[in-house]
Amino acid sequence: MPHPNFQSQEFYERYHFDGELGAIYQKTHTLFRVWAPTATQVGLVTYPSGHEGYGSEIAMERDVKGTWVKKLPGDQHGLYYTYKVLVDGMVHEAMDPYAKACGVNGMRGMVVDLARTTPPGWDGLERALLPRFVDAIIYEINVRDMSSHPLSGISHRGKYLGLAEKGTRGPQGVWTGLSHLIELGITHAQLMPCFDFATIDESVPYPKEYNWGYDPLNYNIPEGSYATDPYQGEVRIYEFKQMIKALKEAGLRVNMDVVYNHTFYAHNSHLNRLVPGYYYRQDAHGRFSNGSGCGNELATERSMVRKMIVDSVRYWATEYKIDGFRFDLMGLIDIPTINEIRMALNEIDTSIMMYGEGWTGGHSPLPDYLKSLKANVCQLPSTGVFNDDLRDGLRGNVFHANRPGFVNGGVGMEESVESGIVGACPHDQVDYNQVIYTQRPWAAEPAQSINYVEAHDNLTLWDKLEAVSPSASDEVLIAMHRLCGAVILTSQGIPFLHAGMEFLRTKHGDYNSYRSPDEINWLDWERKCRYDDVFKYYQGLVALRKAHPAFRLGTAEEIQTHLRFLPVFDDHAVAYTLRDHANGDPWRTISVIFNANPRSIQIELPGKTWVIVVDGKVAGTKRLGQIEGNIASVPPYTAMVLVDTDSYEKSKQE
């Protein structure tokens, strides 16, 4: 058949299908339904296993809206299958995009009775309470990195089950894995991609090859290299759920990093084999566009691509009880798709988080006004984006290793830091013309600003600080690191921590470790022993934030009213107060000072006596000292948090 105009209203009306796709299982039969409107023949190919043996092809019948169907009687749980399509005289065999289980390396789908994949107690598992998005503290982890170190004390190293192990200890008895997350006190564990990705050979029990997972193969199936048996399709599902259950039983919420902007394969992908040309954007010459930097980008604005993504997110949120979604290169996903996902999640639970990278990885033919960019986030209610103004304002440009930021000598970064402190919301005391990337307040609400200084991408904060200041002592670098952490964990919005940064994680200068070996990527638990004081500092900042809602104001109006910057007469310094907040915080006036100078500075405070709860060495809610008078002397590279003495004393009595 001649290729239709995929963008046309006629194509939409003729072929958009609203119903359920995939292998729809019941004990008495399984109905297979695949969307392949341009095919002239479609066959269901069944296999005796997920990796061996020859297939038997059964003709499917053309049905409504471009779908093809076939019903197989009996209990088909464990049956492996693919689809074979004839398009333009060419025959292609492909995985089902809606498959929920698969064989090793994801080349054959598997019919699955999901009731057989639920661990004991799964059905009664509840989401941890999250009154507001700004109450979240997100911690980004990679399943493999958390347990692959030989001294992790974890039995199932590099596996889902490793993160489900309780009470594990590493060098000198430090808590590791799940127990470390509990000890730190974060609220959300964000998993780096856990859907089935393409670049690890799952047939190897403990593969030497490594990949972060930003190379999607099957969107609705857990990755097999993290399972103890990737050959049996239900095992990876069961073990993934065991990990989720353990995290949730520990009081954590679980977010997942999802990569719907591209697939690992392009012309030869399962999607392009089924409906050639439909799922991907093309340029004027018909070539796949490359806004992802990975060779292709999904055409999310097309209705059946949008449906596939919305259905997938809904599936992860319901079947796996996922509590939030981090969208990779969210700028490549059109605004209507993101908002439709948000509405679908709201029907499940309005507390499920959505946030992503508000940029693209290259040029995309999708018009800028339709992209889910940071600049357009006001059109994305209840969806956040990463605050790169604060990230690079604090540490220096991530793409130039030796370029400094606020904490390590960068000039003119104060307004970028202040814009992050107010959660990128409008504030009359911030000069947005001086902000490094976005010269306007881009967030409508503080929850839209994901505040971070380090993530899996680029140099870790420790490596960046070393690159900018190679002759600085460890003492100075550690002070800078603590200062960055203090800014992130006291700013309005949602703080985001990269696993291990709380004990100075290093990747030994590797700025893009997506396929570097375990020795580069693993969490080195020996560093937790070595830098126990740094860990305790971050732990104290987490406790401070959780204890005091003044650091978690819910609206732009509250921030404008209650957060006021203090006069500062030194460069490389920022100070502000949080006061008279009507949000139940027992501390009436809080002063916060950040001194990134190599010398002490003095700041005039709006009151006479103050209790210090955070300084350059210790953080938390306990008294570290007291200031009589209204002048605070702040040491070099130090964050200081102070509370007016009256309300501090009163809060201790209540």
Q: Closest Cα to residue 444, out of 393, 494, 383?
A: 383
Residue 357 falls in the annotated catalytic set: yes
- Within 10 angstroms of residue 257's Cβ, the number of other Cβ atoms is 23
Residues 583, 578: Cα–Cα separation, whole Å: 12
- Amino acid identity for residue 98 in this structure: Y
Residue 126 falls in the annotated catalytic set: no
Q: At what angle do helices 233-249 and 177-184 cross, to 10 degrees?
A: 30
Cα atoms in the 13 Å half-sphere on the side-chain side of 501: 30
Catalytically annotated residue among 328, 414, 463, 644: 328
Give the H/E segment covering residue 69: strand 67-73
Residues 16, 278: Cα–Cα separation, whole Å: 12
Backbone angles phi, psi at 80, to 5 degrees: -95, 145
Catalytically annotated residue among 357, 388, 392, 414: 357
DSSP-based three-state secondary structure for 566: coil
Rounded to the nearest 5 degrees, what angle is found at the Cα of 266, between the Cα atoms of 265 and 269?
60
Cα atoms in the 13 Å half-sphere on the side-chain side of 605: 30
Give the H/E segment covering residue 558: helix 556-562
Cα atoms in the 13 Å half-sphere on the side-chain side of 383: 31
DSSP 484: H
Q: How far apart are the first and last CA of the chain?
A: 77
Is the Cα torsion angle 496, 498, 503, 506 positive or negative in sign?
negative
Backbone angles phi, psi at 361, to 5 degrees: -100, 5
- Catalytic residue list: 328, 357
